């Protein structure tokens, strides 16, 4: 999970659905970006940074990502 992106989302008080709508990124794609399963295109990174009011480096810093796996 990209903690910078998830943290900015929570700090702004938006749901993932709301952020997807404001940034014109499909919800499924945004979920993949937040979970770290996909890397953002330059346009996606710019839009998310603009909507959240945070620098892209904070949103997508590789040093602030974690992976959580369930026992399923």
Percent of the residues in the chain that have a pLDDT greater than 70, as a whole number: 85
- Does domain 3-64 sit in CATH 1.10.260.40? yes
**pTM for this prediction:** 0.82
Paired strand residues for 13: none
Paired strand residues for 2: 65
**With contact defined as beta carbons under 8 Å apart, do 67 and 4 qualify?**
no
Task: Quote the pLDDT of residue 71.
Answer: 65
Task: Quote the pLDDT of residue 1.
Answer: 85
Task: Locate 43 and state its tokens.
Answer: 């346009």
pLDDT-based confidence at residue 66 (cuts at 50, 70, 90)? low
**Residue spans per domain, the chain:** 3-64
């Amino acid at each position: 999970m990209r903690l910078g992106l998830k943290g900015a989302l929570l700090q702004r008080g938006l749901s993932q659905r709301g952020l997807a709508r404001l940034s014109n990124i499909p919800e499924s794609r945004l979920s993949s970006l937040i979970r770290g399963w996909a890397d953002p295109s330059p346009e996606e990174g710019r839009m998310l940074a603009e909507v959240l009011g945070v620098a892209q480096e904070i949103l997508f810093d590789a040093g602030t990502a974690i992976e959580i796996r369930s026992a399923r």
